[in-house]
Amino acid sequence: MKKPIRKAVPNTQTNNATSNGPTSKRRSHLWALCALLVCAAVFGGGGSRYGLANLVVQLTAIGALAFHRDAFLKFWLEAPFALKLLASASVLLPALFLIPLPPQVWTALPGRELVAQSLELAGGIGWTTASVDPVRTLLAITALITPLAVLFIGWKAPRAHLITLGWVVVILGLANVAVGIFQVLSNGATGLFYPEIPMPGILFGAFANRNTAGLFLVACLTFAALLPAPPQAGQAALPARIIICLLLLVAILLTRSRTSLVIAFLPIAALCLRVLRQKISTPRKGQRGNETRKWATLAAVVLTLGAVASVGVMVPGRLGDVIERFQSDRTDARTYIWEDASYSASRYWPVGSGMGTFDDVFQTDESLENITQRRAGRAHNDYLEVAIEAGAPGLLLITGWLALLAWLSWQARGREDRWIAWSGSITLVALALQSVTDYPLRNQTMLAIAGFALVVLVRFSAPRRGAKI
């Protein structure tokens, strides 16, 4: 009697481990960035006043980098030279202010007279740093940990995972909307993460600054409008996209941030341009296709009218309040801050006083006629603040970043994924525009969003094949 021949059964555990190993490793980049973005959105919206919360975000970034050292190395090996140069300069410039200098050198720097006089009264002049407050400068350097971690890890993440992370950012925006509903309906009595500045009826979300909250929602609106819909959405993709965009627009309105409301037209204009180009370039596919488009358009119009009517019923007077802020007189306290800050910039030009030192410097230069009961804290113009803290090298560095942004956006025009790349560039342009009247990059949340937008722009502006990116 012949023995039955037993077929060799493959070792499924070994094969699965072999086949899923690289996939699991690639997914680790997705989960690391997801955890970092979520942590930054929850704990990082308070700014420099909340050191412990910022520390949580930075430790999360360091932990994510520790498990992805290969991504760090790959970035420095494969990234474009301009990107590596600007990233290095962004860390090196504030670090140079921490190098101890002999008295003959640092006393010759512009604006150091008061520092020299103070040290003489305290016991004598010795070696010190170019920064008038080295502790503040060191904190400014640590703030860069979060965006650099997003940039390094995102460099190696697959493009499909970056699109998924873009929708994670949108979900975080909707979470801010949900929190903001309680803040608005309770007139600021509940739901505020940072209640030290009471503004009843304003949507702050997870931020201490309503302008930053509005800008974060603009970034979420940009990704919601331009990123490809998840394949699981199916036929519900278009209605869901419309509803999400409308919710985010209403939330931006509820922040009563004039700059955010104006900047929100960037993603709206981009979406309209994209739809128009698709209408022109897409050939007609028969009457059935036309009927489908008509019903989709009708559904969009109905949803839009319903959302507008809901806004009018739920939040009466909010739009009028925003319009009134546009029509208000120009006695804005920021104009007086800019006047005194310009003098500070000229006093420390062209070297600067050291990154993070604006608040200390401004107290000595604020004129008596412009003093109010509240401290300025910030220049409310990041370009002017950089001119004070980093002088001509800081403005040159900003110019380099803006030039890279323009070049990558132009380079993306011929790519099939250009609208994904432009979602990143529009977000960065929005940050640059609001920096004229505010300080959006002075908190960990927006630094993480800026780093993610840069990754999206760089990765999708490169060709899909034949490139290392």
Q: Please report the DSSP string for 119-187 in residue order.
A: HHHHT----B-SSS-HHHHHHHHHTTHHHHHHHHHHHHS-HHHHHHHHHHHHHHHHHHHHHHHHHHHTT
What integer pLDDT is reported at residue 283 of this predicted model?
57
* Closest C-alpha to 250, from 193, 327, 304: 304
What integer pLDDT is reported at residue 25 of this predicted model?
62
Rounded CA-CA distance 146/64 in Å is: 10
Q: Please identify which residue in the block is written with the tokens 């979470």.
A: 175
Contacts with 255 (C-beta within 8 Å, 6 or more apart), sequence order: 180, 202, 203, 204, 210, 211, 213, 214, 217
349-355 average pLDDT score:
93
Q: Please report the DSSP string for 305-362 in residue order.
A: HHHHHHHHHHSTTHHHHHHHHHHS-S--HHHHHHHHHHHHHHHHTTT-S-TT-HHHHH
**Does residue 4 lie within any of the structural domains?**
no
Both tokens assigned to 442? 């002075």
**Does residue 124 lie within any of the structural domains?**
no
> Model confidence at 414, in pLDDT bands (50, 70, 90)?
confident
* Domain range for 311: 26-98+131-280+298-330+376-461
Rounded CA-CA distance 226/421 in Å is: 9
What integer pLDDT is reported at residue 300 of this predicted model?
52
Q: For the stretch 396-424, what's the b/e string if a residue is b when 16 or more beta carbons lie within 10 angstroms of its beta carbon? A: ebbeebeebbeebbebbeebebbbbbbbb
- Mean pLDDT score of the chain: 84
Q: Please identify which residue in the block is written with the tokens 């310009």.
A: 342
What integer pLDDT is reported at residue 214 of this predicted model?
96
> Model confidence at 182, in pLDDT bands (50, 70, 90)?
very high
> Model confidence at 202, in pLDDT bands (50, 70, 90)?
very high
**Does residue 304 lie within any of the structural domains?**
yes
* pTM for the predicted model, two decimal places: 0.86
Q: What is the pLDDT of residues 42-72, one digit of tens each?
A: 999 998 889 999 999 999 999 999 999 999 9
Rounded CA-CA distance 201/9 in Å is: 67
328-345 average pLDDT score:
78
79-100 average pLDDT score:
95
**Does residue 398 lie within any of the structural domains?**
yes
Q: Please report the DSSP string for 21-72 in residue order.
A: HHHHHHHHHHHHHHHHHHHHHHHSSS-TT-HHHHHHHHHHHHHHHHT-HHHH
**Does residue 165 lie within any of the structural domains?**
yes
Rounded CA-CA distance 364/43 in Å is: 32
* Closest C-alpha to 127, from 106, 96, 112: 106
Rounded CA-CA distance 417/301 in Å is: 28
Rounded CA-CA distance 187/461 in Å is: 44
Query: Exposed, middle or buried: residue 108 (CB in 10 Å: 0-12, 13-18, 19+)?
Result: exposed
Rounded CA-CA distance 157/149 in Å is: 12
* Structural domain total, the chain: 1
In order of 6, 102, 148, 157, the CA distances from 83 in angstroms are 59, 34, 12, 17
* Closest C-alpha to 426, from 238, 209, 269: 269
Rounded CA-CA distance 464/162 in Å is: 14
Q: What is the pLDDT of residues 283-307, one digit of tens each?
A: 555 455 555 555 555 555 555 555 5
Rounded CA-CA distance 418/20 in Å is: 31
What integer pLDDT is reported at residue 435 of this predicted model?
95
Rounded CA-CA distance 462/80 in Å is: 11
**Does residue 365 lie within any of the structural domains?**
no
> Model confidence at 319, in pLDDT bands (50, 70, 90)?
very low
**Does residue 362 lie within any of the structural domains?**
no
* Closest C-alpha to 377, from 144, 48, 94: 48
Q: Is 118 left (phi over 0), alpha (psi -120 to 50) or beta?
A: alpha
Q: What is the pLDDT of residues 145-168, one digit of tens each?
A: 999 999 999 998 999 999 999 999
What integer pLDDT is reported at residue 86 of this predicted model?
97
Query: Exposed, middle or buried: residue 326 (CB in 10 Å: 0-12, 13-18, 19+)?
Result: exposed
Please say if the pLDDT value at position 361 is more than 60: yes
Rounded CA-CA distance 305/239 in Å is: 13
Contact 355, 89 (CB under 8 A): no
What integer pLDDT is reported at residue 17 of this predicted model?
38
**Does residue 253 lie within any of the structural domains?**
yes
Contact 180, 437 (CB under 8 A): no
